[in-house]
Amino acid sequence: MNRLAVILVDGLRDDTARRCMGYMLALQEAGRARWSTLTCELPSLSRPLYATVVSGRRPVDHGILSNDNVGVRLDDTLFDDVHARGGRSAVAAYDWFYELLAGERFAPARHRTAACAGRGVIAGSWYFADDYPDSHLLADAEDLRRRHAPELLFVHPMGLDNAGHVHGGGTDAYNLAARKLDMALALLLPHWLADGYDIVVTSDHGMNADRMHGGNAPEERAVPFVWMPASGDGSAEPAAWPASQLEIRRFLVDRLDAPR
């Protein structure tokens, strides 16, 4: 099984990524990354779309339709795909991901570094404050990678979403959050690529100027999808390239199984 790192950037608009994230754009210009734009499912809210990205099912099908669907377990996910192949996952993410995998309410004192062994998640680092810095979250992810060398490293920074809710999408503060995340990734991702990880960067939803998302506006639904192969050859379109957010899981599984 190949190694794969998935970075789900919460609340990152496609137009902002293409304007502000110079490191990832440099990889595209050099033929080392491939970009596309996807349209997120509805409602364009976080918890429903976390479930959609890792399950490949619409919110109206998997049943998680609101951010208030607390403590609902999501079965049949990307993490289960990895587990079924004998692989291990490590997750650095917001506590809602723990709740989706464990099916229980997150309790910081008990679950801050909990594993979900039955789902193949051997190690976790779960944060529970919306303003938890992306720099800290990326350090958590790198610590998990160094200590456990998982086949799937799943990373979920929330700096863009927090900046958007406080200041609005497209504002200077929102754009700055994208630039700072890109600069942090430029220091980290070359090491992951050198260690044999194919990397995917995408988002759950975008952000409107009114400091919210959930509807059908392009600013809320258009998200980037970026593939950075460890081989350095991102010029060709790989098999199973996703045409929609529903196909991300299938693409990731294909990357795990693809011959090197």
Task: Write down all domains in the chain, each with its CATH number in brackets.
Answer: 3-194+204-257 (3.40.720.10)
Rounded average pLDDT over 179-195: 98
- The 10s digit of each residue's pLDDT in 217-246 is 999 999 999 999 999 998 878 889 999 999
pLDDT at 39 over 80: yes
pTM for this one? Answer: 0.98
Structure confidence by residue, pLDDT tens digits, 61-76: 999 999 999 989 999 9
Burial class (CB in 10 A: 0-12, 13-18, 19+), 110: exposed
Task: Express each pLDDT in 47-104 by its tens digit.
Answer: 999 999 999 999 999 999 999 999 899 999 999 999 999 999 999 999 999 999 999 9
Given this model, what pLDDT does residue 71 score? Answer: 85
Instruction: State the distance between the two ends of the chain, measured CA to CA, in whole angstroms.
Output: 10
pLDDT over 80 at 260, yes or no: no
Q: Could you give phi then psi for residue 90, rounded to 5 degrees? A: -130, 140
Question: Exposed e or buried b for every residue in 131-153, given b needs 16+ CB within 10 A?
Answer: ebbbeebbebbbebbeeeebbbb
Model confidence pLDDT, tens digit, residues 127-151: 999 999 999 999 999 999 999 999 9
